[in-house]
Structure 1
Amino acid sequence: MEDFFLYSAVVLTIIIAIPLIRVVKGPSVFDRILATNAIATKTIVLICLIGFLFGRIDMFIDITLAYAVLGFVGSLAIAKYIESPRTRRN
């Protein structure tokens, strides 16, 4: 079972690279934000898998929750910045 989680973690790491291309080459800011959120979601699962592999799932769940909250607040801050009237072009 441990091998399955190890292989899953490797595959998940490879899958994280796919939205990374969208973050770098994204045609718009919104595409980049969505890709960043996709990377954050996959990273949360990856952290949980690593916690299981190290046998310290309780500690890694706390790290994962903090990471999820920071990602959510960061997305809200970026969305608020984009929506503000100072950044709009006339």
Structure 2
Amino acid sequence: MNPLLMIIMIVFGIAGILTVIRIAIGPSILDRAVASDVLLTEVMCVLGADMAINHHTRTLPVLIVVAAVGVFGSIAVARYVARRDNEPS
């Protein structure tokens, strides 16, 4: 395996662990939603780095699906929070 890719994976692995910790202890649903978006972005960056370093496009469909899940997940959380905030107490 390419040493540069190993360094990238280690750095993003540490960032991923810290992000999962933030998801676990986040005090609100918005904190958890932002942390999950960051985690998906980290996965996308690792996949993109792998494609760039190894000169292939085999993981491009996975990259597109991960991006779509991130967008639709953010929209779902935003709609849920907006609906919850508009309910009368």
Instruction: Give me the TM-score of the superposition, normalised by structure 2.
Output: 0.81
Which AA in structure 2 matches 1:72?
V
8 A contact 1:51–1:57 mirrored in 2: yes
Structure 2 Cα separation of the partners of residues 85 and 16 of structure 1: 29
Shift of 1:3: 0.8
Structure 1 Cα separation of the partners of residues 55 and 87 of structure 2: 47
Q: Percent identity?
A: 21
Map of 1:10 onto structure 2: 10
Shift of 1:75: 1.1
Shift of 1:88: 3.8
Structure 1: gaps of 5 or more residues = none
Map of 2:20 onto structure 1: 20
User: How big is each residue's C-alpha offset from its partner over 1:10-60, in whole Å with a ceiling of 9 and x where there is no partner?
Assistant: 22111111121111001111111111111110011122334456x473121
Report the secondary structure of 2:59's partner residue: helix
Map of 2:58 onto structure 1: 59
Matches within 5 A, 1:28-43: 28-43=28-43
Structure 2 Cα separation of the partners of residues 80 and 60 of structure 1: 31
Query: Which runs of 4 or more aligned residues in structure 1 lie more than 3 Å from their structure 2 counterparts after TM superposition?
Result: 49-53, 85-89
Report the secondary structure of 1:58's partner residue: coil
Map of 2:77 onto structure 1: 78
Q: Kindly tell me: are residues 8 and 86 of structure 1, through their superposed partners in 2, closer, same or farther at Cα, counting changes over 3 Å? A: closer
